[in-house]
Structure 1
Amino acid sequence: MGSSQESTFSSASTAAQVNANALDLLPVYAKELIAGGAAGAFAKTAVAPLERVKILLQTRTGGFQSLGILQSLRKLWQYEGIRGFYKGNGASVLRIVPYAALHFMTYEQYRCWILNNFASSVGTGPVVDLLAGSAAGGTAVLCTYPLDLVRTKLAYQQWLDQCGLYLFLLHCFKVSNVGQLGNALGASGRQQAYNGIKDVFKTVYKEEGARSLYRGVGPTLIGILPYAGLKFYIYEDLKSRVPEDYKKSVILKLSCGALAGLFGQTLTYPLDVVRRQMQVQRKQAQSTTDGFHITGTFQGLLLIIRCQGWRQLFAGLSLNYVKVT
């Protein structure tokens, strides 16, 4: 019996060693692909409730414009329960795995390419990180953007479905005070109902063509290039200032990454608001609840300032600070 147990333990140990050796044989970019994807999926799921509330604030969804973070989370819990915090998270994870993986993998590839070909022109300092980070961010966005569009539509639509049912019940019971919520929903309440990720792809493509899957990609690219570049630039610069004895400290690495992300996000956040509003508006409906239709990045910025106020450009930014950190 003892020999049988020893044999079992020996087999398990051998299998583990084989798996470890197989991972060691993978090229560096493959390891970065796996590590970046796993880290992205975990992080995205951890902050999914904040991301859901942020989208509702950015798109001026009825009932959320004047609420704070805790009040918004409480409202979601009240109407949709725990599942409401994670609606659309499936599409978000599907996107973030390839996005994070591509981002980190291509960053290293672009960095090596720049150093090998243009080191004499740009040097070997933080400028390389700025250029490589911008190129990596743009590449990751272009490859995964349709999934971001799907995530936004699902997160936005699910709440509208709840509000529509709420209005219907109030009407059935002849409650008179329904005008404010009804006006808040407006044309948005008549958005297309989707039954999942696949249905969003099929419906959007059928109604508006392949280009509609990239609606809002303009402000995304304009924002991601400086954001991704600044994020890596500041992160590498902060790391270089850390004393040698603390180079391997996880806390310091997290702090450097958080500060880099916060600075980059603050500068580019208004473009994220424009992107979200472009994603949820329909081509057929040439007006939204605020009476305008966004067709371009800078036109969208001006329209939001004029019709919704400049504060709307930073709606949900505090949530983003928590999320990015």
Structure 2
Amino acid sequence: MCGAILTSPFDVVKTRLQSNLFRQKHPHPALNVLTGGVGSVVSAPRPINLLYNFVETGFIIRDIYREESFRALFVGLGPNLVGVVPARSINFFAYGNGKRIIADKFNDGVENSWVHLAAAAAAGIATGTATNPIWVVKTRLQLAQSGGAVLDGSVACVRRILREEGVRGFYKGLSASYLGVTEGTIQWVLYERLKALSAAATADGTVARWAGMLGSAGAAKFVASLITYPHEVLRTRLRQPRVNGVLKYHGLVQTLRLVVAEEGARTLYSGLSAHLMRTVPNAAVMYSIYEGLIRWAA
């Protein structure tokens, strides 16, 4: 919860960059982000330099603060806080128990990489299915334009989705979430491997051991995000609201083809810098707390 609050501005930037509703293409190298009222455009120069994307994130946070308000940097935080606790609880519970059950039933009680992989995949599917409605509401709130009007609250957003799209509207992007199970799977497998290597290289109970655990968690998240990030963009597009009554994105494959055809393959990594700035520190702290609580409870 603390991580979600502190990194909310990065989450808002990431969601907006992933959405075509807040991006306009121009023949010159510039990134345009709609941040104010209807028709308001804030532009930041975009050199062909991936490292500049991290600086660009800072520019966009500044522009959102100037054009909309400080509060706009925390839009969607309510659903995020509501979702982050059950999502992490389900994921850690399903993974921790899953790897034990799979190892006991199918591998003579021995854990290895394939046991970790199977447990992580099962945990990802369970988490995605259970919490998808919460993330749909969060995405809709973050993509709402203020335009001088008060942004819808979570309850109003839920009512609108039910009225216009029915219950199925809460499961938009679920196919992309299932595709994203690969991220959690890679993350858990890498984390277990890096943690084991770190533990072997440091003495038990030392500061170096905990530093190695922090580094293992952060590195695992970083690598997993780089490999699987396009599913995040596809998921956001699928969760976008109708524009003038028209739903542009209908399915996973159709969305992928349309995004690449209209905006290029590079668009599949829009918002990556903000995503990494938000999730890597979060993962490092969260996994360390998880390990610490397990050791304390034991």
TM over 0.5: yes
Query: In the alignment, what sits opposite 1:221?
Result: 178
SS at match of 2:242: coil
Query: In the alignment, what sits opposite 2:66?
Result: 78
CA contact 2:68–2:146 (8 Å) conserved in 1: no
Query: In the alignment, what sits opposite 1:139?
Result: 126
Deviation of the 1:88 alpha carbon? 1.0
Matched, 1:64 2:29: no
Query: In the alignment, what sits opposite 1:232?
Result: 188
Query: In the alignment, what sits opposite 1:36?
Result: none
Distance in structure 1 (CA, Å) of the matches to 2:151 and 2:276: 30
CA contact 1:271–1:297 (8 Å) conserved in 2: no
Distance in structure 1 (CA, Å) of the matches to 2:228 and 2:19: 17
Query: In the alignment, what sits opposite 2:221?
Result: 261
SS at match of 1:280: coil
Residue identity opposite 1:297 in structure 2: L
Corresponding residue to 1:209 among 163, 166, 174: 166
Distance in structure 2 (CA, Å) of the matches to 1:44 and 1:252: 23
CA contact 2:104–2:110 (8 Å) conserved in 1: no
Matched, 1:302 2:257: yes
Query: RMSD of aligned C-alpha atoms?
Result: 2.1
Query: In the alignment, what sits opposite 1:322?
Result: 277
Matched, 1:279 2:239: yes
Paired residues in the alignment total: 248
Deviation of the 1:81 alpha carbon? 2.6
Higher-helix-fraction structure: 1
CA contact 1:54–1:319 (8 Å) conserved in 2: yes
SS at match of 1:241: helix
Residue identity opposite 1:99 in structure 2: A
Q: Is the radius of gyration larger for structure 1 or structure 2?
A: 1
Any stretches of 5+ residues in structure 1 without a counterpart? 1-40, 167-192, 288-292
SS at match of 1:124: coil
Q: What are the equivalent positions in structure 2 for 1:109-258 lying under 5 Å apart?
A: 109-120=97-108, 124-157=111-144, 160-162=145-147, 165=148, 195-223=152-180, 225-242=181-198, 243-245=201-203, 249-258=209-218
Query: How many percent identity over aligned positions?
Result: 23
Distance in structure 1 (CA, Å) of the matches to 2:210 and 2:16: 33
Provide Cα deviations, 1:173-195, integer angstroms capped at 9, x if missing partner. xxxxxxxxxxxxxxxxxxxx862
Any stretches of 5+ residues in structure 2 without a counterpart? 24-31, 35-42, 45-55, 281-298
Deviation of the 1:201 alpha carbon? 1.3
Deviation of the 1:83 alpha carbon? 1.2
